[in-house]
Amino acid sequence: MLKAAVAVVILMTKAFGGIIVFSCARFLHGCVQWMLGRFGTSQKADREDSYETSARVLRVRARHKFDPIACGNFLSDFITVDETFEHPNYVLKPEVSLYHIGSDSLVFVECQKGENPWNVKDYVFSRIGQCNTAIRAIILPMRSAHRLVEEMAGNRTSKDRLLFVAMTARCGSMLLSRLLEETGECAVYTEPYVVCDLMRYVPDDDSTFFTPEQCKLVNTVVTLLTKPDGSPAELRVIKMQPQNTYLCRIFRQVYPEACFLFMYRDLKPNCVSFIKALQATPLMIMVLLYSIVSDRLAEALMKRHGHHHPHKSPPIALYDTKTVYGHVAFLALMGIQGYLRLLNSQFPIQAIKYEDIVRNPQAATQAIFEYIGLKSSLVSPAMAAFQVDSQNNTAYKRSELEKTYLPPFTEVCQSEIRTLCDTMGIPDLLRNQPLPGTITGD
């Protein structure tokens, strides 16, 4: 009990300390950005009206992100000053990457030549790499972005293929990213936040019809996210975030030849990993404490930081979960429920299981590569992914998570999770049985 009490006190201190730091930083950021504009270092963006000069380039002077892992991407992550206006094809430079979808524009960031924020070895989470390496931000009006993509039509070669990976949180998906990157034939985009931004524009039900405007936006975003970069990669892999599973439907409508995978792991270790990771993530600590007061307050905090959860997803309050294991299991089961809905509707998607990959790396990787169309000769070089901590250089690395507090997994927790599974129409995953459609098992 004493250990648990100490852990709670530490978490509350981190959370409320984080609120103060975040509030002060945002206030100072606003003041500095206002002064830069007020005293003439920011130009009037008159030239945005002309397509040829509509890419507004800003020099990044400073950056601040309250929680580099959990917070979304925004232009306000940076203090910037206007530098110049360029042709929209400026964003096609290899050093430029798509950062955020605004209400009427796209935001890109530019890094130094030779840097690659998508490199999984250097930046486990691409949003950290993008923020840390940004030397410029580029604002491109949405109309210019659409026109640019139209001009690019036909530039994507027949060799370029797309793979969308959906998953549950804390399922070991970074290992999959490393396996694919080690082949040298895959460009991996790890949890780009622009995919989360798309959730504001796409309905989160089981509909199979999407408007031309929605499809156009998706095509523009995906095209500019996976733009040609001169690499030999033939497979472009977009590893989505856990709440993005339902977006698979519109991705397939826009890209009918794309491949789809869903990754998961046994439920108990999934929950354990989730609980440990939450304690290393300031935003998630705040959300948990806010949820004690009000679910709506917690939801507002999440949206403020770029998390747009499906509007029609059942609130956790409906399931009356009383334990932290029940809370995190619910989040994992939402992703699994989304996958099963896709599978049951004859959607072309298959599942892979983390424990299968760890237990039998060669066979499981062979099955994955066969499904996504990679040569079997690439399995051997991919095994280098097992030589390192897949989340090294982040707050989630093993040495940090070992310091966290883990509450006991009691009979009450197990009963609550089994009730959740039954209520949500999901098999009892505490029995460690594979989901239907799993291709990595024996």
In-domain check, residue 441:
no
Q: What is the pLDDT of residue 71?
A: 77
Residue 300 has pLDDT above 80, yes or no: no
Q: What is the pLDDT of residue 78?
A: 92
Residues 96 and 177 in one domain: no
In-domain check, residue 442:
no
Q: What is the pLDDT of residue 286?
A: 67
Last residue of a domain, one of 98, 127, 152: 152
The answer to whether 115 and 96 have CB atoms below 8 angstroms apart is no
Which helix or strand (DSSP H or E) is residue 329 part of? helix 324-344
Region 213-234: mean pLDDT is 88
Q: Enter the tokens of residue 19.
A: 């609120």
Looking at 117-230, list the stretches that DSSP marks H as alpha helix, in order from N- to C-terminal side: 126-133, 142-152, 173-182, 193-198, 212-225
In-domain check, residue 439:
no
Name the CA radius of gyration of the chain, rounded.
22
3 state DSSP class of 266 = coil
What residue type is 368 in one-letter code? I
Q: What's the Cα-to-Cα distance from 174 to each of 137, 196, 211, 335, rounded to whole Å?
A: 27, 18, 33, 17
Residues 285 and 181 in one domain: yes
In-domain check, residue 56:
yes
Q: What is the pLDDT of residue 281?
A: 72
Residues 86 and 166 in one domain: no
Residues 117 and 166 in one domain: no
Residues 129, 123: Cα–Cα separation, whole Å: 5
In-domain check, residue 102:
yes
Residues 129 and 172 in one domain: no
* Ranges 34-38, 50-54, 217-221: which has the least confidence: 34-38
Residues 11, 130: Cα–Cα separation, whole Å: 28
Residues 110 and 254 in one domain: no
Last residue of a domain, one of 110, 127, 152: 152
Q: What is the pLDDT of residue 311?
A: 41
Residues 327 and 354 in one domain: yes
Of 221, 270, 3, 212, nearest to 106 by C-alpha is: 221
CATH number at residue 230: 3.40.50.300
CB neighbours of residue 198 within 10 Å: 21
Residue 402 has pLDDT above 90, yes or no: no
The answer to whether 421 and 266 have CB atoms below 8 angstroms apart is no
The answer to whether 79 and 214 have CB atoms below 8 angstroms apart is no
Residues 93 and 204 in one domain: no
The answer to whether 429 and 266 have CB atoms below 8 angstroms apart is yes
Q: What is the pLDDT of residue 307?
A: 54
Q: Enter the tokens of residue 308.
A: 């747009």
What residue type is 29 in one-letter code? H
Residue 42 has pLDDT above 50, yes or no: no
The answer to whether 147 and 88 have CB atoms below 8 angstroms apart is yes
Which of 154-168, 336-350, 375-389 tops mean pLDDT?
A: 336-350
Residue 122 has pLDDT above 70, yes or no: yes
Residues 426 and 345 in one domain: yes
Residue 17 has pLDDT above 70, yes or no: no
Last residue of a domain, one of 124, 152, 180: 152
Which helix or strand (DSSP H or E) is residue 371 part of? helix 361-372
In-domain check, residue 58:
yes
In-domain check, residue 54:
yes
Q: Enter the tokens of residue 316.
A: 């956790």
* Ranges 118-122, 283-287, 417-421: which has the least confidence: 283-287
In-domain check, residue 83:
yes
Query: 75: domain range?
Result: 2-152
Residues 88 and 220 in one domain: no
Residues 86 and 234 in one domain: no
Residues 40 and 147 in one domain: yes
Region 22-48: mean pLDDT is 54
What φ, ψ does residue 137 adopt, rounded to 5°?
-120, 145
- Residue 282 CB-density burial (10 A; 0-12 exposed, 13-18 middle, 19+ buried): buried
The answer to whether 191 and 125 have CB atoms below 8 angstroms apart is yes
Which of 13-17, 168-172, 213-217 tops mean pLDDT?
A: 213-217
pTM: 0.85
Number of domains, the chain: 2
Region 23-33: mean pLDDT is 58
Residue 197 has pLDDT above 80, yes or no: yes
